[in-house]
Every structure is written in C-alpha cells, then in structure tokens.
Amino acid sequence: MASSLGLTLVWVFALAFLFLLQRRRKTRNFPPGPSWSFPILGHLPMLGNEPYKTMLEWKKTFGPLIGVQVGSYQAVFINDLKSVKEMFNRNEFSGRAQLELFVQSNQGKV
C-alpha cells in the first residue's frame, strides 16, 4: 500500500513538473509578458477588477505588445495606437484563432 502511494506521488510530481516546464517554454517570436501564470487560468486572475490599469502597468514594463496566457491559449495584447493600425493594415494579422468552445457552442454556424 505504501509503495503504491509513493509511486503515485512520484507520477503526480513528475507530471506536474513536465506540465510546468512545457508552459514556461514560449514561442521564440512571442512578445514579452509576465513571467508566470496560474495553471488552467493563465494570466486572467492577474488582471483584477480593472484590467485596463493592469494593462497600462504591463505596457510600462513590457512595451506595447504583451504576450499573455489566456486559459490554455497564448494571446497578444496590443496597447499602442500605432501598433493597432499596423496590425489592421497587414494581411498576416487578419485571421483569428478559432476557439473550440465557441465553435461547439454555436454548432459550427460561425
């Protein structure tokens, strides 16, 4: 009994370590952002009740483009009018990722 409990604990810690290690790896071209995030929720709890104030603070620290984890997705917040205009005028940025939950809740009618 004790050995199976020990083995289970080793597996749990190994999986948790691998999960955290994978989350820390970012895409090479991903903009800078807060260094750690909550499991599953990402950076959402860090935004607080007034997310615009948090975003202004992050802009001072990380610049106009901020890479964040929103749930299990990576997202980029754009905090600069010049950058927003550039994004809207370039074809590379015209597409959006499909969120699976949104597609399922609308039964693929989007």
DSSP code string of 37-71: -BTTTBTHHHH-S-HHHHHHHHHHHH-SEEEEEET
Angle at 105 between CA 26 and CA 55, to 5 degrees: 40
11-41 pLDDT tens trace = 887 777 766 665 555 566 788 888 878 877 8
**Ranges in the chain, pLDDT < 70:** 1-2, 18-28, 94-110
AA letter at 61: T
